[in-house]
């Protein structure tokens, strides 16, 4: 098994003073590493028996679209404001270095569909909480969360209550 941590670089004081940024781009620069990451995350999605994969822009898309292709699952986009063309649900949230709004098309998830969230980094969990709210507005059910890297000290363990969870690398 590849040591994926070696392909996530620490960048101090980016994008703001005091933030230790986890740069996942080396994973993408190494095809065998990217392939292993996608294979492991895809296996988790299948175990969850999810109907839908959902991911936030931009870095979440890098992983989620490859996983959706591999697993033959429906893929739903979570975007920053003003990017989705049809009627959206929207939720405000805070993340490790700022705050924003996330949007999802209102009709992209049907009631009772089982959803797995995919992202690159879990930090404070603000992004994940916002996505859970968006899915609930469409009466879907978040059953799992898979991330490449988990900054375990930055979020409450309660965030993961009731969810199947996969993190390929823990800090």
Ligand X SMILES: O=P(O)(O)OC[C@H]1O[C@H](OP(=O)(O)OP(=O)(O)O)[C@H](O)[C@@H]1O
- List of residues contacting ligand X (CB under 6 A): 56-60, 95-96, 119-127
Which listed option, ligand ADE, ligand X, none, makes contact with residue 144 (CB within 5 to 8 Å by class)? none
Strand partners, 17: none
Shortest Å distance, C-beta 70 to ligand ADE: 24
- When binding is defined by CB under 6 A, the residue of 21, 75, 165, 171 that contacts ligand ADE is 21
Site for ligand ADE in 129-168 (CB under 6 A): none
Residues 6+ apart with CB under 8 A from 149: 8, 22, 24, 120, 121, 122, 167, 168, 169, 170, 171
Site for ligand ADE in 86-125 (CB under 6 A): 95-96, 121, 123
Residue 20 touches ligand ADE, criterion: CB under 6 A:
yes
Candidates 115, 120, 113, 109; CA nearest to 38 is 120
For residue 128, say if its preceding peptide bond is cis, omega within 30 degrees of 0: no
CB 76 within 8 A of CB 60: no
Shortest Å distance, C-beta 3 to ligand ADE: 19
- Our CB check for ligand X shows the closer of 59 and 72 to be 59
DSSP structure string for 58-125: THHHHHHHHHHHHHT-EEEEEB-TT---S-EEEEEEEETTEEEEEEEETTSS-TT-EEEEEEEEESSS
Which listed option, ligand ADE, ligand X, none, makes contact with residue 57 (CB within 5 to 8 Å by class)? ligand X
Which listed option, ligand X, ligand ADE, none, makes contact with residue 106 (CB within 5 to 8 Å by class)? none
Shortest Å distance, C-beta 124 to ligand ADE: 7
Catalog residues that contact ligand ADE under the rule CB under 6 A: 19-22, 95-96, 121, 123
């Amino acid at each position: 098994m590849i040591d994926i941590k070696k392909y996530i670089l620490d960048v101090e004081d980016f994008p703001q003073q005091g933030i230790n940024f986890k740069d996942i781009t080396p994973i993408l620069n190494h095809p065998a590493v990217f392939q292993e990451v996608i294979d492991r995350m895809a296996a988790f999605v299948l175990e969850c028996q999810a109907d839908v994969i959902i991911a936030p822009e931009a870095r979440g898309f890098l992983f989620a679209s490859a996983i959706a292709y591999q697993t033959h699952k429906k893929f739903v986009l979570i975007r920053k404001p003003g990017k989705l063309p049809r009627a959206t649900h929207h939720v405000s949230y805070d993340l490790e270095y700022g705050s924003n709004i996330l949007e999802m098309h209102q009709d992209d998830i049907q009631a009772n569909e089982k959803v797995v969230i995919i992202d690159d980094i879990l930090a404070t969990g603000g992004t994940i909480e916002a996505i859970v709210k968006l899915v609930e507005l469409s009466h879907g059910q978040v059953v799992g969360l898979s991330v490449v890297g988990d900054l375990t000290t930055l979020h409450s363990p309660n965030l993961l209550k009731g969810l199947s969870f996969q993190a390929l690398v823990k800090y």
